[in-house]
């Protein structure tokens, strides 16, 4: 079982160009900013949109081929969890979940039975007679998942499944969802703009920007070596473009950094993690090879660290403790010295 997608789809001025293969038993996260084409991708796989060129194959059946074949959604074995869930407000939870099996030919009794089974499987059978309006966000998410799973799809599509939840519920539901997805035998495609979803739920991450795939790798690989500034910003690291020769990295936006990689040459990307950047009020002495001055442009709190954005060149993000911010009197506009060890620069070819 697998999904092969190689198509373009035009929505007005926007064009989505997508090529990838998804294997059964894996969770693929589609990560990208708003307007990147993430929802268009899901809708096209589901059959709510048609391809303009190319084709989509599910389980070695071509479900969509430009101008030749188009199987409508009911003819595809696809489950769809919509953003905000789109639970039918006039039906009970049970009727919502039984809707799929009923529509696909089961009798009322068999469909209700199946719906109960799925609700039990997800631990929410007590909600069966509830009206959607009385559900909390987390409950609605589970019901939407149950409804999508009740048709026993080969492909499960989730559009921002956690975006509608508040932060506390989100981390709880995320853990639950990870467990449920791991028991789902089919192939899961999950659209998100939250890197945490991608890191914790997916086996593989495809970064989509402006309608094109810019990176397709494991979550660890994306975290270690993001391919674009967008991906780097999501991960929370600084990504620099430059040209390396004999360990000297000449940055495209000005400045030179020393690296530990003496062999590499040519155009490269360099990642600097915020924890590797030290911030000083006076020019530091000693071992770090890279020392340069800069001006703080912004401070933002994140967990137990404060992220300090500094204009360089090169501009970087440093992570310091709240105590350090107070001690050194860091504020936007403060002139500081930055230092990074050569070994803390991760350099890789573009």
Partner 1 sequence: MNRSRPTSSRPLFLLIPGLIAIAFLVIPLIGLLAEAPWGSFGAILTSPVALDALRISLITSIAATGVAIVIGTPLAWLLAREILPGTRVLRAMVIVPLLLPPVVSGVILLTAFGRRGLVGQWLYSGFGVQLPFTTAGVIIAETFVAMPFLIITMEGAFRSLDGRFEDAATTLGASPWTTFRRITLPLVGPSLVAGAVLCWARALGEFGATITFAGNFPGVTQSMPLAVYQALETDRSTAIALSLVMLTVCIIVLVALRGRYLRPASS
Residues near partner 1, by CB under 8 A? 43, 46-48, 72-74, 78-80, 82, 84, 86, 88-90, 99-100, 103-104, 147-148, 151
- Between 192 and 259, name the residue whose CB sits nearer to partner 1: 192
> What minimum distance in Å lies between the beta carbon of 42 and partner 1?
10
Paired strand residues for 268: 242, 349
The distance of closest approach from Cβ of residue 181 to partner 1 in the complex, given in angstroms and rounded to an integer, is: 18
CB of 199 to partner 1, least distance (A): 27
| CB-neighbour burial class of residue 31 (10 A; exposed 0-12, middle 13-18, buried 19+) | buried
| Closer Cβ to partner 1, 119 or 345, answer by number | 119
- Closest to partner 1 by CB, 115 vs 235, is 115
Tell the smallest beta-carbon distance from residue 85 to partner 1 (Å): 9
Beta bridge mates, 307: 300, 319
| Least distance CB 328 / partner 1 (angstroms) | 51
- Minimum distance from CB of 176 to partner 1 (Å)? 21
Q: Residue 56 in contact with residue 231, Cβ under 8 Å?
A: no
196-224 as b/e: b if 16+ CB within 10 A: ebbbebbebbbbbbebebbbbbebeebbe
- Strand segments (E) across 138-251: 155-159, 187-192, 204-209, 212-217, 238-245, 248-251
Nearer of residues 111 and 270 to partner 1, judged by Cβ: 111
Q: Report in angstroms how near the CB of residue 148 gets to partner 1 at its nearest.
A: 8
Q: Please state the separation of Cα 168 from the chain's center in Å.
A: 19
Between the CA of residue 251 and those of 63, 243, 254, 329, what are the distances in Å? 47, 6, 5, 30
Identity of the residue, 151 or 276, whose beta carbon is nearer to partner 1 in the bound complex: 151
Nearer to partner 1, 94 or 207 (CB): 94
**CA separation for the pair 157, 160 (Å, rounded):** 10
Nearer to partner 1, 141 or 278 (CB): 141
Nearest distance, CB of residue 90 and partner 1, angstroms? 5
Query: 332 exposed, middle or buried (CB, 10 Å; 0-12, 13-18, 19+)?
Result: exposed
Identity of the residue, 159 or 209, whose beta carbon is nearer to partner 1 in the bound complex: 159
């Amino acid at each position: 079982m697998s999904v092969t997608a190689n198509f373009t789809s035009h929505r007005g001025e926007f064009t989505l160009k997508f090529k990838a293969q998804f294997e059964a038993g894996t969770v693929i996260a589609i990560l990208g900013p708003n307007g990147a084409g993430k929802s268009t991708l899901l809708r096209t796989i589901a059959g709510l949109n048609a391809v303009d060129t190319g084709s989509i194959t599910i389980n070695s059946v071509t479900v969509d081929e430009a101008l030749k074949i188009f199987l409508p959604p009911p003819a595809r074995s696809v489950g769809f969890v919509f953003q905000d869930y789109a639970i039918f407000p006039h039906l009970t939870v049970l009727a919502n979940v039984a809707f799929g099996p009923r529509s696909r030919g089961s009798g009322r009794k068999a469909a209700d039975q199946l719906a109960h089974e799925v609700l039990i499987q997800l631990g929410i059978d007590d909600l069966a007679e509830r009206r959607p309006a009385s559900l909390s966000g987390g409950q609605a998410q589970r019901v939407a998942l149950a409804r999508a799973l009740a048709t026993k799809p080969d492909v499960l599509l989730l559009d921002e499944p956690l975006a509608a939840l508040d932060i506390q519920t989100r981390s709880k539901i995320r853990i639950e969802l990870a467990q449920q997805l791991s028991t789902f035998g089919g192939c899961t495609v999950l659209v998100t703009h939250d890197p945490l979803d991608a890191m914790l739920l997916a086996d593989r991450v495809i970064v989509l920007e402006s309608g094109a795939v810019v990176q397709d790798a494991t979550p660890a690989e994306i975290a270690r070596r993001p391919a674009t500034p967008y991906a780097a910003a999501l991960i929370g690291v600084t990504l620099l473009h430059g040209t390396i020769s004999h360990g000297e990295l000449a940055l495209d936006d000005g400045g030179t950094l020393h690296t530990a990689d003496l062999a590499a040459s040519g155009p490269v990307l360099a990642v600097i993690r915020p924890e590797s950047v030290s911030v000083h009020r006076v020019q530091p002495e000693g071992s770090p090879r890279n020392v340069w001055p800069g001006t703080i442009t912004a401070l933002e709190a994140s967990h137990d660290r404060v992220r300090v954005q500094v204009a360089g060149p090169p501009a970087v993000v440093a992570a310091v403790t709240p105590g350090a911010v107070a001690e050194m009197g860091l504020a936007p506009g403060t002139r500081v010295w930055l230092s990074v060890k050569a070994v803390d620069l991760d350099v890789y070819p573009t």
